[in-house]
């Protein structure tokens, strides 16, 4: 109890200190600087806001901002540099925040009309039918889950083992080849993966398992798994090489072999970082659109005969948006339902991102404390 009060009190006094120091900074500035800073901030804010409300004043304000910044650069370079870098950071974050806000706003009508339960609950009709006005996202959520599960079954083991090899075992010359290959793999546009999957892997898998060639979730999962592979490898490798050499050397000096060192020193120490890598891979797999769009059948229904039949084909959340936005009439429930899918994606991917960030931070704290 007193602990909570203490921490609240500390947070309060920290805030107080920050406000005080900000106040001091403001008071210490000479009047011209203060005026200039305020005008600059107001102008960029005004330009941004009037662009958003589509007012023709946006450009005038932007030019005025550039003019004031130019004058500031000549007269008060130090202050201008600080303000400019701050404004750009704030601008980026607010644009990205606005995108999230816009998604929620557009998703509201569908949620209001259908109810959150109907859209998301697996115990309802589970039907997506535009003609009947049924917009249940459950088949698409299932599709996303299934492809992501297959993808991560490929990306996680290969990725983590690959990272272990690159950071712990590989001789220098092999590392020199493998690391650029991973980077190249990460850089290849997703459409290239998509159409290789569509033209080659699709046919191969349907021949192998004697299924109709229609973009089975299994095939799409494989392709997405290979796309997520470089993400897992590079983040896991970062985590593994962050393990202090002193710890590994200590283990080797005790007579442990490479594998024993990895098993009992490197992996446990870097475990949180490695799991963050896998989570990021999951995020990448969920958010992937293009590769899946060209391969998938776009039949928006539950998988049959069982819900976990990976050789059937349905739709994922991302491909739903990609294939639906062109045909959905604006302002309709259909369109709004697509935005619900967008919100869902944003929430899932952001959630995964936050969790993996927290894990990575915890690992860094632990390593710093352990040294």
Partner 1 sequence: MSSENETPDLTRDTGLSQLVEGTTTGVFALCALVTLVTTVAIFVTLLRPAVDFFASISVATFLTGTEWSPNPSGGSLAFGIVPLLIGTLTVTITAAFISLPIGTLTAVYLSEYASARVRAILKPMLEILAGVPTVIYGYFAFVYVTPALQATLFPNLGTFNALSASLMIGIMTIPMVSSISEDAMNAVPDRLRNASYGLGATKYEVSTSVVIPASISGIVSSYILAISRAIGETMIVVVAMGSQANMPQVRDAILGIPYIHPADVLLQDGATITVAMVNIAVSDLTGGTLPYKAMFALGLALFVITLVLNVISDIIAKRYREVY
Size of the residue set binding partner 1 (CB under 8 A): 90
* Cβ proximity to partner 1, 305 vs 326, nearer residue: 326
Closest CB to partner 1 among residues 1, 177: 177
- Residue 84 in contact with partner 1, rule: CB under 8 A: yes
Considering only residues 284, 297, 315, 359, which one is a binding residue for partner 1 as defined by CB under 8 A? 284
- Site for partner 1 contains 88 (CB under 8 A): yes
CB-nearer residue toward partner 1: 111 or 291: 291
Q: Closest approach of Cβ 263 to partner 1, in Å?
A: 9
Within residues 57-76, the interface with partner 1 by CB under 8 A covers 58-59
- Cis before 305 (ω within 30): yes
Strands 134-135 and 128-129: antiparallel
The DSSP code sequence of 48-85 is HHHHHTT-THHHHHHHHHHHHHHHHHHH-HHHHHHHHH
Q: Is 277 in the site for partner 1 (CB under 8 A)?
A: no
Q: How far apart are the C-alpha atoms of 352 and 358, rounded to whole Å?
A: 10
- Sketch the per residue contact string, 209 through 248, with partner 1: x for CB under 8 A, - otherwise: -----------------x--xx--x---------------
Tokens encoding 76: 């008060």
Q: Looking only at residues 93 through 122 of this chain, which bind partner 1 when binding is defined by CB under 8 A? A: 93, 95-96, 99, 102-103, 106
Confirm or reject binding of residue 139 to partner 1 (CB under 8 A).
no
The rounded distance, in Å, linking the Cα atoms of 112 and 120 is 13
Q: Identify residues 246-265 at the interface with partner 1 (CB under 8 A).
A: 255, 257-259, 262
Nearer to partner 1, 189 or 305 (CB): 189
Q: What is residue 135's DSSP assignment?
A: E
Token pair belonging to 289: 């659109």
- Which residues have a Cβ under 8 Å from the Cβ of 363 and sit 6 or more positions away? 239, 242, 270, 272, 273, 276
Minimum distance, C-beta of residue 81 to partner 1, in the bound complex (Å) = 4
Binder of partner 1 out of 147, 148, 313, 318 (CB under 8 A) = 318
Asked whether 287 and 341 are in contact (CB, 8 A), the reply is no
Pick 126 or 218: Cβ nearer partner 1: 218
Here the tokens at position 210 are 């004697």
Number of residues that this document lists for the chain: 371
Q: Are 224 and 147 in contact (CB under 8 A)?
A: yes
Comparing CB distances to partner 1, the nearer of 67 and 358 is 358
């Amino acid at each position: 109890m007193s602990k909570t009060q203490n921490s609240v009190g500390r947070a309060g006094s920290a805030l107080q200190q920050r406000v005080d120091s900000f106040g001091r900074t403001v008071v210490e500035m000479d009047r011209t600087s203060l005026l200039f800073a305020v005008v600059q901030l107001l102008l960029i804010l005004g330009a941004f806001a009037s662009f958003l409300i589509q007012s023709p004043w946006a450009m005038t304000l932007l030019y005025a901002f550039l003019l004031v910044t130019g004058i500031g650069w000549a007269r008060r370079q130090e202050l201008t540099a600080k303000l400019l870098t701050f404004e750009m950071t704030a601008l980026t974050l607010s644009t990205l925040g606005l995108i999230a806000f816009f998604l929620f706003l557009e998703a509201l009508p569908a949620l209001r009309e259908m109810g959150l339960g109907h859209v998301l609950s697996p115990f309802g009709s589970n039907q997506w039918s535009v003609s009947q006005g049924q917009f249940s996202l459950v088949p698409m959520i299932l599709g996303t889950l299934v492809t992501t599960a297959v993808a991560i079954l490929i990306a996680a083991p290969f990725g983590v083992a690959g990272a272990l090899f690159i950071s712990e075992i590989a001789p220098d010359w092999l590392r020199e080849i493998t690391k650029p290959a991973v980077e190249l793999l990460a850089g290849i546009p997703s459409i290239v993966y998509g159409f290789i999957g569509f033209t080659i892997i699709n046919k191969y898998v349907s021949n192998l398992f004697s299924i109709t060639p229609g973009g089975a979730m299994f095939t799409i999962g494989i392709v997405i798994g290979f796309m997520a592979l470089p993400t897992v490898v590079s983040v896991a490798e970062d985590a593994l090489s962050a393990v202090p050499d002193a710890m590994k050397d200590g283990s080797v000096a005790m007579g442990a072999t490479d594998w024993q060192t990895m098993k009992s020193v490197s992996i446990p120490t870097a475990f949180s970082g490695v799991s963050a890598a896998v989570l990021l891979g999951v995020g990448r797999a969920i958010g992937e659109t293009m590769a899946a769009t060209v391969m998938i059948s776009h039949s928006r229904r539950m998988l049959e005969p069982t819900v976990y039949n990976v050789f059937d084909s349905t739709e994922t959340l991302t491909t739903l948006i990609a294939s639906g936005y062109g045909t959905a009439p604006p302002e309709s429930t259909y369109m709004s339902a697509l935005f619900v899918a967008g919100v869902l994606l944003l929430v899932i991917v952001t959630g995964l991102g936050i969790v993996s960030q927290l894990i990575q931070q915890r690992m860094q704290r632990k390593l710093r404390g352990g040294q």
